[in-house]
Structure 1
Amino acid sequence: MTLISTISEPQSTLAEALSNRPVPKIRIAAFCETTETHDMVALAAIDRRMMRANIDFQMGGTKTAIRQYSNAPTPDLILLERQVPGDLLLEELGRLAEVCDAGTRVLVIGASNDIRFYRTLMDRGISDYLVSPTDAPTLITAIGRLYEGADAQKLGRTCAFIGAKGGVGSSTIAHNVASTLADRLQYDVILADMDLPFGTAGLDFNIDSAQGMVEALESGDKLDELLFERLLGKCSERLRMLVAPATLERPYDLGEEDVDAFVDMARTSASHVVLDMPHLWSSWARRMLVAADDVVVTAVPDLANMRNTKSLVEALRKARPNDAPPRLVLNQIGVPKRPEIKIADFVKAVGLDPLVAIPFDPKPFGTAANNGQMIFDVAARSAKPFAAISEALLESSGGKRRGGKGWGFLSRLSPRRRSA
């Protein structure tokens, strides 16, 4: 197999300065004086990093906030826009402080761009100050910084792989990309098989594990580093995996909070977390896709895939306004005697260029699947698309092409691990 297309799509720069750390589960109230700031807060509220926060925003300044909280508890964070002279603002903030509960933080958006005034606000106990006009990424970064402790661990990046339709090869691509990142590019990687009843990661890596994905999701508050490490199956020196049970003995109804806890633990344990997503649209699956740092949609060139890809891309663009669009991988190009939609027509319809287009090449892929191997181990030339996808994901995260420092307890538990 050869790589027949590698198209580099310019990625959005909106999220370049944004952290990949989610804002914790807090209550936020915003009081806006201008419609521009109101609209900006509304845009920030739907950002994936703010998914866990509960945000209420309205028009009104300091007087509105004081009136609202005179006889009611204050939220964790108050965002206050006030376009008045510094002396008046300080006086109003003093009155606001009288009705604020202990522990409530205040972030002010104002017109003054004076470092001395900023220092005065900090001395008065204001948590942060932004000069208007500002934008949603700047506000999200400021909020995240308020709740990021000095000892906070660096978080790994999550990449969710999903097929536009069943049987398009999304899992095969996810598994081979995870292997490439770990074994060829030397990053610590966790592969999570989220297709609990029908997952194939255990088969593809020839791993038989009685524990794994379900146990991690159902452990709740008991999921700590030691338990998490015990549930991980070892594929190679730098690749660990959570295996799906792949049985139909019970239904698998996941809660959003369980999924959040699992992803949080995985991101503190490896530099890259590859999520092999099933082809479904549930509340938890949508949440994982929206919250992922990168999303890769795999499709084959037919009408159903084109329709589903268009729907996925539009939904994720709407839900992730401050992030780059999903990555598109076209797979199984050139199946003999199968009518296909031309790549150019597919791209025009979905509004997204493919990162790679992979030709139909059944022999190495079938051999690898039946033997529990990766494509690189069967036919190295056929693995070029996975290297291209891996390097594109590294580029979007600012990672280096070669090397990569391991993070989290996985690094400490691997004595034979080479330093990068």
Structure 2
Amino acid sequence: MSDTAIERASRNDAANQIAPVPRISIQAFCESQDVANVIESAATDRRMSKTHVKVHMGGLPAAIEAYRTAPTPNLIVLETYADRATLLDQLDGLAEFCDAGTKVMVVGHENDIALYRELTSRGVSDYVVAPIEVLSFISQVSHLYNGPTSDVLGRTIAIVGAKGGVGSSTIAHNLAWSISRLLEYQTVIVDLDLPFGTAGLDFNQDPPQGVADAVFSPERLDTAFVDRLLSKCSDTLSILAAPATVDRLYDLPEQAFDATLDILRSTTPCSILDVPHQWSGWTKRVLVAADEVVIVSAPDLANLRNTKTIIDSLRTTRVNDHPPRVILNMVGVPRRPEISLSEFAKAIEIEPFGVVPFEPKLFGTAANNGQMLAEVEAGSKIVETLDDIGRLLMGRGAARRAKKTLLSPLLEKLAARKKAS
């Protein structure tokens, strides 16, 4: 065997040991075309097939300017020729706009261990010395998310209705759309209502496979199998659909979804769990294990009672977690007596996270067309409210208008409507 063949075999072995990069968003800001070309080539590699990669020129100054008004991705790659003092000053400027959870990789042109230590002490995830190769770059990114000291990637948000028919699935699907569209997070909707789930309908899709295949084939369950079950809605949004049939009974064990959700947590930045309105071993387990729980309710007595019951139950099992968030939906139905926002909040001892008014035309049009609310009426106040809620649930902070958007204009509108009627 020639030396060239030996080297080739060694490279192949090294490549086969690189774990696939999970479903993350990456933005690179380069100063040289060589580094930009390497990252663009890496984006086409099979190990990066789940990632969403954008390459820009301009280095750190361009990154600072870009993130003044835009959310940061899961990973920022920055190429720099700057000296140490300038580099550290620019990184401090970028830090003002970086969201929690964003990792930063610096590609430098100086092999300096002291600089490496300085950068890591400031929170930089990795420092790589140029020139770089495709496989070495992929390996570095993979290690950030698959290494023994890497943080858990995904965030799971469980959304459940306090009562049947309150629109929790609609809220869940539109929140997922907002998170994937505005924050550019790779997001998966998991429709856990196996017999009657509506994720496929809401996105005008009829996936042949979905979450039931994962539940009833535990022996086949791995990352690749779950990935094949996903139905793509956009570059950043996929659904794990329910079969929506009653040709079998779904008497599921308590741990039915554990393995599937663990896989999604390790590969996907955001998983929205559309939990059906029922109380069983597995639904309680899903709610207890989620990073965030959102209860969708309506302003009537039954919803108030059920919301309070669920909150009290979860408080005892999620002692060290934030209390469940509450979204009041379908508020302001004409001529319907309703519990006021202040009375509702006082009874459940939690301020509602958001208020969504009754808008039958907007919601009905979206549902019948298999569209999201933002596709029907992008400038709607309801869409703005859901966008802000999505940001807050992902720990990214709401837009500057959020405090006003979440409650004030909606309550003003509802008051005017009631006064007119």
TM over 0.5: yes
For residues 175-203 of structure 1, give each alpha carbon's deviation from its aligned partner in whole angstroms, at most 9, with x where no partner exists.
00101111222001111000001111000
The one of 273, 286, 289 aligned to 2:287: 289
2:158 counterpart residue number: 160
**What is the letter of the counterpart of residue 388 of structure 1?**
D
The one of 294, 308, 318 aligned to 1:320: 318
1:417 counterpart residue number: none
1:214 counterpart residue number: 212
1:384 has 2:397 as partner: no
2:271 aligned counterpart, secondary structure: strand
TM-score (normalizing by structure 2) = 0.58
2:253 counterpart residue number: 255
**What is the letter of the counterpart of residue 393 of structure 2?**
L
The Cα shift of 1:371 comes to 0.2
Cα separation, 1, equivalents of 2:262 and 2:194: 19
1:272-351 map, 5 Å: 272-351=270-349
Cα separation, 2, equivalents of 1:328 and 1:299: 7
The Cα shift of 1:257 comes to 2.9
For residues 88-141 of structure 1, give each alpha carbon's deviation from its aligned partner in whole angstroms, at most 9, with x where no partner exists.
xxxxxxxxxxxxxxxxxxxxxxxxxxxxxxxxxxxxxxxxxxxxxxxxxxxxxx
CA contact (8 A) 1:356 1:388 kept: no
**What is the letter of the counterpart of residue 391 of structure 1?**
R
The Cα shift of 1:385 comes to 1.8
**What is the letter of the counterpart of residue 209 of structure 2?**
Q
2:394 aligned counterpart, secondary structure: helix
**What is the letter of the counterpart of residue 317 of structure 2?**
A
The one of 350, 353, 366 aligned to 1:352: 350
1:178 counterpart residue number: 176
The Cα shift of 1:259 comes to 1.2
Cα separation, 1, equivalents of 2:150 and 2:372: 35
**What is the letter of the counterpart of residue 329 of structure 1?**
I
The Cα shift of 1:384 comes to 1.3
CA contact (8 A) 2:210 2:230 kept: yes
The Cα shift of 1:352 comes to 0.8
Please, what is the CA RMSD of the aligned residues? 1.7
Q: Which has the higher helix share?
A: 2
1:195 counterpart residue number: 193
**What is the letter of the counterpart of residue 221 of structure 1?**
E
4+ residue runs of structure 1 moved beyond 6 angstroms?
Answer: none
Cα separation, 2, equivalents of 1:283 and 1:171: 20
CA contact (8 A) 1:164 1:279 kept: yes
Cα separation, 1, equivalents of 2:365 and 2:203: 13
Cα separation, 1, equivalents of 2:317 and 2:255: 19
Cα separation, 2, equivalents of 1:392 and 1:163: 20
Cα separation, 1, equivalents of 2:398 and 2:292: 17
TM-score (normalizing by structure 1) = 0.58
- Which structure has more relative contact order (CA 8 Å, sep 6+)? It is 1
Cα separation, 2, equivalents of 1:299 and 1:401: 22
Worse overlay, 204-213 or 150-159: 150-159
**What is the letter of the counterpart of residue 285 of structure 2?**
R
**What is the letter of the counterpart of residue 187 of structure 1?**
Y
Q: Which runs of 5+ in 1 are unaligned?
A: 1-147, 403-420
Same amino acid, percent of matched pairs: 50
Cα separation, 1, equivalents of 2:252 and 2:258: 11
1:246 has 2:244 as partner: yes
Q: How many residues of Structure 1 are paired with residues of Structure 2 in the alignment?
A: 252
CA contact (8 A) 2:255 2:285 kept: no
1:97 counterpart residue number: none
CA contact (8 A) 1:180 1:386 kept: yes
